Structure 1
Amino acid sequence: MKGKEWYQADDVAQEYDSKRFSKGGRLIDRREKEAVLAALGPVEDKNILEIACGTGRFTVMLAQEGANIVGLDISRAMMAQGREKARAAGVADRIEFLRGDAARLPFPDDHFDAVFAMRFFHLADTPAKFLAEMARVSKEQVFFDTFNDQSLRVAYNWLLPMGSHLYSERDVQRLLDDAGLDLVDAAHDFVLPFGFYRKIPNGVARPFRGIDLAIGDSTVGDDVASVSYWNAHVTQSAAADTRATDRASDAE
């Protein structure tokens, strides 16, 4: 995965939220949480897996909504931050933080009601493998976001310490097809890239966000959006094929 060593550094984990979700980044945090809740729907008593849970922003939020959730990440330092948040919120009993590899998930087929990943696929060096694993362990739903290749994000992508993988709609559709997933709906947002919002005060960011939303609601909004949220369901035929393959492997 791109920037793997950078991502796992203790100092990165300690400053991750404060650098990204303060100032104008608060707007990003709120919008991303809205997107996750809107896609996953009522989550009370659902079993959910979050890939690349990081510092637990979404993990803790969903536990507060009543979900039983596993947060998987490669960074011990990031998950330590998540455990602190869970304890402070009083939901530690609903969350299991697990260090693991998203390309080889340690769960059986159809284990979770939903599987999701945020801020992950732009770092993924083998996105097809990751998405296939997410589909394998989900009974029904897979949700994730991507950064887009026809957006202003291209202008500063080279500045990022780990680089970033940008996707076209065709790229995502190919990944979904290969993973046996049907796209249910998609949302596109943030004409102005995240890096812009993180650099300006929250009060200044609000007027820019208004302009951003106005462009997003126009006829060209989807085409120039820097972020897309993809909500997909596992096809029954794909799930059956997976189970048949597993049975054949066990018999050998």
Structure 2
Amino acid sequence: MKGQEWYQADDVAEEYDDKRFSRGGQLIDRREKEAVLEAIMPVEDRKVLEIACGTGRFTVMLAHQGADVVGLDISAAMLQQGRRKAQDTELAGTLEFLRGDAGRLPFPDDYFDTVIAMRFFHLADDPEAFLEEMRRVSRDQIVFDTFNRFSARSIYNWALPMGSRLYSKSEIAVLLAKTDLTLVDVEDDFLLPYGLYRSIPNSLASPLRTLDEAIGELPITDHAASVSYWNASVR
């Protein structure tokens, strides 16, 4: 995984949510959570694994909705932040945080209904092997996101602390076929890159987001979106 040492630092974990999901970043957080919920509804009683769960944004949300969730991450500091969130929330389902490697998941085959990985695919050293491992432990569904090659993301990609790999839709289609996964749905979003939203207050980000969504509904903009949310089924 790219940027592994940086990611595991205590100070990074403490500031992670504030730096990425405050100010205009709240719009990103909201949209990502909508994408996850739309993909796996109904959530209640589903057995879910989130790989690279970080500070538990999705794990806590899903457990609150009634899912039985395991959040796995390589960073002990990130997991600690997630546990603190869970303590402050009344959960309808169950939630467990485990430290582990996304490339070697410590679970038997077909153990979960759904496996999700948000904000991680672009960091995977071997995306095909990563999808294979996700598929191995899922008996039903895989949900993940990718950053897109032909988008504004490429303009500032070099400046990201961990770096990231950008994908075309055709590359992901090939990877899904190689790992025997069937595409159920893909949603494209954010013509403007995440970094812009994070750097401005909500009062400016909200009208930009409205414009972004309106332009994004045009068919000609499909391949210009910064991010794609993928929902695939296990055959």
TM-score when scaled to structure 1? Answer: 0.91
Confirm or deny that 1:177 pairs with 2:157.
no
Q: Give the number of the structure whose alpha-carbon radius of gyration is greater.
A: 1
Q: Is contact 1:183–1:230 with CA below 8 Å preserved after alignment?
A: yes
User: What secondary structure does 1:192 align onto?
Assistant: coil
Residue 239 of structure 1: aligned partner: none
Structure 1 spans left out of the alignment, 5+ residues: 236-252
Following superposition of structure 1 onto structure 2, how do residues 60-209 of structure 1 map, counting pairs within 5 Å?
60-91=60-91, 94-209=94-209
Distance of 2:104 and 2:184 partners within structure 1: 25
| Structure 1 residue 93: Cα displacement | 7.2
| Structure 1 residue 171: Cα displacement | 1.1
| Structure 1 residue 221: Cα displacement | 2.1
Equivalent AA in structure 1 for residue 217 of structure 2: D
Q: Deviations over 1:165-216 (max 9, x none)?
A: 1000111111111111000110000000000000000011011111101111
Residue 232 of structure 2: aligned partner: 232
Residue 52 of structure 2: aligned partner: 52
| Structure 1 residue 45: Cα displacement | 1.1
CA RMSD of aligned residues (A): 1.0
Q: Is contact 2:64–2:93 with CA below 8 Å preserved after alignment?
A: no
Equivalent AA in structure 1 for residue 179 of structure 2: A
Distance of 1:234 and 1:219 partners within structure 2: 29
Q: Deviations over 1:124-157 (max 9, x none)?
A: 1111111101001101100000000000000000
Q: Is contact 2:44–2:93 with CA below 8 Å preserved after alignment?
A: no
Q: Is contact 2:114–2:139 with CA below 8 Å preserved after alignment?
A: yes
| Structure 1 residue 92: Cα displacement | 9.6
Q: Is contact 2:3–2:161 with CA below 8 Å preserved after alignment?
A: yes
Q: Deviations over 1:14-40 (max 9, x none)?
A: 000000001100100000000000001
Structure 2 spans left out of the alignment, 5+ residues: none
Q: Deviations over 1:89-130 (max 9, x none)?
A: 033971111111111111111110100110001111111111
Change (3 A) 1:43 1:92: closer
Distance of 1:83 and 1:57 partners within structure 2: 11
| Structure 1 residue 159: Cα displacement | 0.5
Equivalent AA in structure 1 for residue 172 of structure 2: V
Structure 1: which 4+ aligned runs deviate by more than 4 Å? none
Q: Is contact 1:86–1:92 with CA below 8 Å preserved after alignment?
A: no
Q: Is contact 1:83–1:92 with CA below 8 Å preserved after alignment?
A: no
Q: Is contact 2:67–2:92 with CA below 8 Å preserved after alignment?
A: no
Distance of 1:32 and 1:162 partners within structure 2: 20
Residue 42 of structure 1: aligned partner: 42
Distance of 1:219 and 1:174 partners within structure 2: 22
Fraction of identical pairs, as percent: 66
